[in-house]
A and B are shown apart, each in its own frame.
Chain A
């Protein structure tokens, strides 16, 4: 028995499973306009409208197109991650597809790794397009190293928000996940200074922002440009790490709870 099982385990390629799972996850999302359009087009359109097209010559102490490159980039990555992970998992849980996947010999990690890889690719595409728009229409000029560090910080943002999306997927129903995510994401994006620079928001919101994970994320992105609000980087990192850990814990509890449920 043991000999046979080991032989069987060897004759399928785990690497191939991970690669195919990721490839098909990406294709699946790419063919969904309801995901692709809001996650790719919205940050670009908003950035163009508020960061480039609006006149802001008299503006504050910083260059708006540069500043908003960081904040709309952060907003975009947050959306790609929250919706890509949260809505995807919530839907597949609700329809029983997750059940099929769990019963199959797929390594469970492959499912989540594929979703993470997919939102990473979407984030890279979205941020690259934003950079091109910034450098052309926005006239943004940055040292090469700064472009890369901004890109790096922005992409790392996939992790905390994917984790939170996952938690929502396990606690909101498949039909309400989109609504729940919108209700949470839109106001907190606003309150975190992702749409309008935090300096221009009322003091109450500025104080409250300290409790919003997107605020810490946006500040880290702004830090690469030297445009952050001034709190310690370690505070932002700690806040995001705690948020990620808390979300993963919630998701894990939800994942375990699924076992006790009846399906069909």
Chain B
């Protein structure tokens, strides 16, 4: 078998199958199904405690699932063959402080069969000028960039980035996104966990939202936005509520006083339908739901305490 592409075939580069992980009485993952396909940038999105980090740890072979399975390149994640195609940026507080940036990169690169040239890593992670400094002398943002460099240096087919831009300023975050987008263009896969919805929106081909250890929604950023909350149309119309509710793409409708509120997946289409049925419709107003709202709606509906409150 002689292949030059980084992938063996179209099988997932990382997958969880009905993965369950419990820590004592806490169930971190409750039978999660999840996969990253070749060349895909997937964002795993969810609040703290949703199970994002646990999912990453199972896929990296840092913890074993209590039930179900985790696979990396179709292999048991602990296998060196799988790890040699993987780079990881984890949420860790410190890297040994008495080694220089260049020394850290040199060492981690040696673990991989085809590492990137050192210059390239240093440029991509924005470490020019500080490569000779001890890790302990770096600022928070610089440390974060070193961790990114260590994930990148083996030129892996799949990169795990666990909350990669926490603590970075806007400019550094943008620079970081550029590098990730470039990797994706080269056909590499990326699994990103993040709190930043903007980040998932900007980078991901697919967003997987998790809450309480399970996938609660999945799709392209646009799909997530429309499917989860869609848009809110507000207008004054004489149409019966039942008629509106029966229109395609309408998820919910309610009327308060004179005003009708319609929650629709695709606002344009729904507005067109409404107008064609009721030309006298007035006071039309369409408000977009951003990912942030989608996220809140979803995670709150999954949260019994919030519902009760």
A234 contacts partner chain B, Cβ-Cβ < 8 Å: no
Nearest chain B CB to A177 CB, angstrom units: 15
Nearest chain B CB to A22 CB, angstrom units: 10
Query: A31-B134, A259-B62 given as contacts; is B107 within 8 A of A105 (CB)?
Result: no
Q: Give the docked Cα–Cα distance between A17 and B106 (Å).
A: 10
Cβ–Cβ contact B107 & A20, under 8 A: yes
B8 contacts partner chain A, Cβ-Cβ < 8 Å: yes
Which residues of B are found within 8 Å of A136, using beta-carbon distances? none
- Residues of chain B in range 87-112 having any CB-CB distance to chain A below 8 Å: 88, 90-96, 98-99, 103, 106-108, 110-112
Cβ–Cβ contact B99 & A11, under 8 A: no
B53 contacts partner chain A, Cβ-Cβ < 8 Å: yes
Contact of A1 among B8, B83, B94, B134 (CB under 8 A): B8
Cβ–Cβ contact B1 & A262, under 8 A: no
Which B residue sits closest to A262, measured CB to CB? Answer: B23
Which residues of B are found within 8 Å of A10, using beta-carbon distances? 113
Cβ–Cβ contact B111 & A17, under 8 A: yes
Cβ–Cβ contact A28 & B111, under 8 A: no
B60 contacts partner chain A, Cβ-Cβ < 8 Å: yes
B150 contacts partner chain A, Cβ-Cβ < 8 Å: yes
A207 contacts partner chain B, Cβ-Cβ < 8 Å: no
Q: Give the docked Cα–Cα distance between A12 and B153 (Å).
A: 14
Q: Give the docked Cα–Cα distance between A20 and B114 (Å).
A: 17
Cβ–Cβ contact A105 & B154, under 8 A: yes
Which residues of B are found within 8 Å of A29, using beta-carbon distances? 98
A144 contacts partner chain B, Cβ-Cβ < 8 Å: no
Contact of B110 among A2, A20, A95 (CB under 8 A): A20
Which B residue sits closest to A23, measured CB to CB? Answer: B107
Which residues of B are found within 8 Å of A97, using beta-carbon distances? 92, 94-96
Which residues of B are found within 8 Å of A261, using beta-carbon distances? 23
Q: Mark A75-110, 1 if CB is under 8 A from B, else 0.
A: 000000000000000001001110110111111000
A37 contacts partner chain B, Cβ-Cβ < 8 Å: no
Q: Mark B38-73, 1 if CB is under 8 A from A, else 0.
A: 000000000000000110010011111000000000
Query: A12-B84, A262-B28 given as contacts; is B92 within 8 A of A96 (CB)?
Result: yes
A24 contacts partner chain B, Cβ-Cβ < 8 Å: yes
Cβ–Cβ contact B84 & A105, under 8 A: yes
Which residues of B are found within 8 Å of A13, using beta-carbon distances? 110
A260 contacts partner chain B, Cβ-Cβ < 8 Å: yes
Nearest chain A CB to B144 CB, angstrom units: 13
Nearest chain B CB to A156 CB, angstrom units: 28
Contact of A95 among B62, B93, B111 (CB under 8 A): B93
B216 contacts partner chain A, Cβ-Cβ < 8 Å: no
Contact of B80 among A4, A28, A105 (CB under 8 A): A105
Query: A1-B8, A9-B80, A103-B62 given as contacts; is B98 within 8 A of A96 (CB)?
Result: no
Cβ–Cβ contact A260 & B84, under 8 A: no
A187 contacts partner chain B, Cβ-Cβ < 8 Å: no
A3 contacts partner chain B, Cβ-Cβ < 8 Å: yes
On chain B, the number of residues with a Cβ less than 8 Å from chain A's Cβ atoms is 44
Q: Give the docked Cα–Cα distance between A11 and B109 (Å).
A: 13
- Classify the interface of chain B: helix, strand, loop or mixed: loop
Which residues of B are found within 8 Å of A58, using beta-carbon distances? none
B278 contacts partner chain A, Cβ-Cβ < 8 Å: no
Contact of A105 among B23, B111, B160 (CB under 8 A): B111
Which residues of B are found within 8 Å of A11, using beta-carbon distances? 113-114
B81 contacts partner chain A, Cβ-Cβ < 8 Å: yes
Q: Give the docked Cα–Cα distance between A2 and B1 (Å).
A: 9
Q: Mark B143-171, 1 if CB is under 8 A from A, else 0.
A: 00000001000100000100000000000
Which A residue sits closest to B64, measured CB to CB? Answer: A259
Cβ–Cβ contact A104 & B57, under 8 A: no
Cβ–Cβ contact B62 & A102, under 8 A: yes
Which B residue sits closest to A260, measured CB to CB? Answer: B23
A263 contacts partner chain B, Cβ-Cβ < 8 Å: yes
Cβ–Cβ contact B93 & A96, under 8 A: yes
Q: Mark A233-264, 1 if CB is under 8 A from B, else 0.
A: 00000000000000000000000000111111
Q: Give the docked Cα–Cα distance between A105 and B73 (Å).
A: 14
Q: Give the docked Cα–Cα distance between A4 and B92 (Å).
A: 32
Cβ–Cβ contact B92 & A12, under 8 A: no
Q: Give the docked Cα–Cα distance between A106 and B61 (Å).
A: 13
Q: List 17 A-B contacts (CB under 8 A).
A: A1-B8, A8-B114, A9-B80, A12-B112, A13-B110, A28-B99, A29-B98, A95-B95, A96-B94, A97-B95, A97-B96, A102-B61, A102-B62, A103-B60, A105-B84, A106-B111, A262-B23
Binding site for B on A (CB under 8 A): 1-5, 8-13, 16-17, 20-21, 24, 27-29, 31-32, 92, 95-97, 99-100, 102-107, 259-264
Closest A-B pairs by Cβ, 4 of them: A96-B92, A31-B98, A105-B83, A95-B94
Given contacts A4-B8, A5-B81, A103-B60, 14 further A-B contacts (CB under 8 A): A1-B8, A4-B1, A4-B3, A9-B81, A13-B110, A21-B107, A24-B99, A95-B92, A97-B96, A99-B90, A102-B62, A107-B80, A259-B62, A264-B92
